[in-house]
Structure 1
Amino acid sequence: MQLPAPFVDYARALLGEAEYNRFSTALLEDEQPVSIRLNPQKWDNSPFSILHSPLKEVPWATGACYLDQRLTFTFDPLFHAGGYYVQEASSMFVEQAVRRYLPERAVAVLDLCAAPGGKSTHLRSLLPAGSLLVANEVMRNRVQVLAENLTKWGHPDVVVTNSDPAEFTSLEHLFDCILTDVPCSGEGMFRKDETAIGEWSPENVEICWQRQRRILMDIWPCLNPGGLLVYSTCTYNTKENEENVRWLCRELGAEVLPLDVPAEWGITGNLLAGEDFPVYRFLPHKTQGEGFFLAVLRKAGDEEEADGMRMAQMGRPNADKLISGKQKGKKGNGGKAASSMAFGKEQLAAVQGWLRGAEGYSLMPEGQTLTAFATSWLPVLSALKQHVRVLQAGVTLAEAKGKDCVPAHALAMSSLLRREAFACEEVDYPTAIAYLRKEAVTLSGAAPRGFVLLTYRDFPLGFVKNVGNRANNLYPQEWRIRSGYLPEEIRIL
Structure 2
Amino acid sequence: MNLPADFIAYTRHLLGEEEYDKLYTALQQETPVSIRFNPLKSMAGYRNDPRLESVPWCSTGYYLDERFTFTFDPLFHAGCYYVQEASSMFLEQALKQYVNVPSVMLDLCAAPGGKSTHCLGVLPEGSLLVANEVIRSRSNILAENIIKWGNPCVVVTNNDPADFTCLEHFFDVILTDVPCSGEGMFRKDATAVTEWSQENVDVCWKRQRRILADIWPSLKPGGLLIYSTCTYNTHEDEENLLWMQHELGAEVLPVDTHEEWGIKGCLIDARLPVYRFMPHITKGEGFFLAVLRKPYGKEENQRTLSAGGPKSGKSKNKGGVAPLKEFFEKAKTWVDKNEEYQLLSLNPSAIYAFPMQYQNELQLIQKYLHVIFAGVVIGEVKGKDLIPDHSLAMSSVLRSDIFPRVEVAYEQAIAYLRKEAVTLDVTAPRGYVLLTYKQLPLGFVKNIGNRANNLYPQEWRIRSGYLPEIVRTL
Spell out the pairing of 1:134-149 with structure 2 (5 A cutoff): 134-149=130-145
User: In structure 1, what is the equivalent of residue 174 of structure 2?
Assistant: 178
Match of 1:252 among 248, 252, 256: 248
Spell out the pairing of 1:435-446 with structure 2 (5 A cutoff): 435-446=416-427
**Amino acid corresponding to residue 407 of structure 1 in structure 2:** P
- Given that residues 270 and 277 in structure 1 are in contact (C-alpha distance below 8 angstroms), is that contact kept between their aligned partners in structure 2? yes
Distance apart, 1:386 and its partner CA: 1.7
Find out whether 1:100 has 2:117 as its counterpart.
Answer: no
- Given that residues 169 and 221 in structure 1 are in contact (C-alpha distance below 8 angstroms), is that contact kept between their aligned partners in structure 2? yes
Structure 1 CA distance, aligned partners of 2:136 and 2:244?
29
Distance apart, 1:308 and its partner CA: 7.5
Flag structure 1 segments of 5+ consecutive residues without an equivalent: 316-331
TM-score scaled to structure 1, two decimals?
A: 0.93
User: In structure 2, what is the equivalent of residue 416 of structure 1?
Assistant: 397
User: In structure 2, what is the equivalent of residue 327 of structure 1?
Assistant: none
**Amino acid corresponding to residue 223 of structure 1 in structure 2:** L
Find out whether 1:430 has 2:425 as its counterpart.
Answer: no
User: In structure 2, what is the equivalent of residue 62 of structure 1?
Assistant: 59
- CA-based RMSD of the aligned residues comes to 1.6
Structure 2 CA distance, aligned partners of 1:303 and 1:489?
61
Distance apart, 1:259 and its partner CA: 1.1
Match of 1:217 among 213, 217, 222: 213
Spell out the pairing of 1:58-207 with structure 2 (5 A cutoff): 58-102=55-99, 104-207=100-203
User: In structure 2, what is the equivalent of residue 38 of structure 1?
Assistant: 37
Structure 1 window deviating more from structure 2 (297-306 vs 451-460): it is 297-306
Find out whether 1:448 has 2:444 as its counterpart.
Answer: no
Spell out the pairing of 1:333-352 with structure 2 (5 A cutoff): 333-334=315-316, 339-340=321-322, 342-345=323-326, 347-352=327-332
Structure 1 CA distance, aligned partners of 2:289 and 2:390?
36
Structure 2 CA distance, aligned partners of 1:26 and 1:376?
48
- Given that residues 82 and 153 in structure 1 are in contact (C-alpha distance below 8 angstroms), is that contact kept between their aligned partners in structure 2? yes
Structure 1 CA distance, aligned partners of 2:466 and 2:318?
47
User: In structure 2, what is the equivalent of residue 363 of structure 1?
Assistant: 343
Distance apart, 1:105 and its partner CA: 2.2
Distance apart, 1:419 and its partner CA: 2.1
**Amino acid corresponding to residue 383 of structure 1 in structure 2:** L
TM-score scaled to structure 2, two decimals?
A: 0.96
Structure 1 CA distance, aligned partners of 2:206 and 2:304?
29
Distance apart, 1:310 and its partner CA: 5.2
1:384 counterpart SS class: helix
- Given that residues 173 and 306 in structure 1 are in contact (C-alpha distance below 8 angstroms), is that contact kept between their aligned partners in structure 2? no
Distance apart, 1:311 and its partner CA: 4.7
Cα deviations across residues 417-457 of structure 1 (Å, max 9, x unaligned)? Answer: 11210011000000000000000001011111100000000
User: In structure 1, what is the equivalent of residue 273 of structure 2?
Assistant: 278
Structure 2 CA distance, aligned partners of 1:311 and 1:72?
43
1:56 counterpart SS class: strand
In structure 2, relative to structure 1, the CA distance for the partners of 1:297 and 1:353 (3 Å cut) is same
Identity %: 59
In structure 2, relative to structure 1, the CA distance for the partners of 1:416 and 1:310 (3 Å cut) is closer
Distance apart, 1:88 and its partner CA: 0.2
Cα deviations across residues 230-260 of structure 1 (Å, max 9, x unaligned)? Answer: 0000000000000001111111000000011
In structure 2, relative to structure 1, the CA distance for the partners of 1:147 and 1:440 (3 Å cut) is same
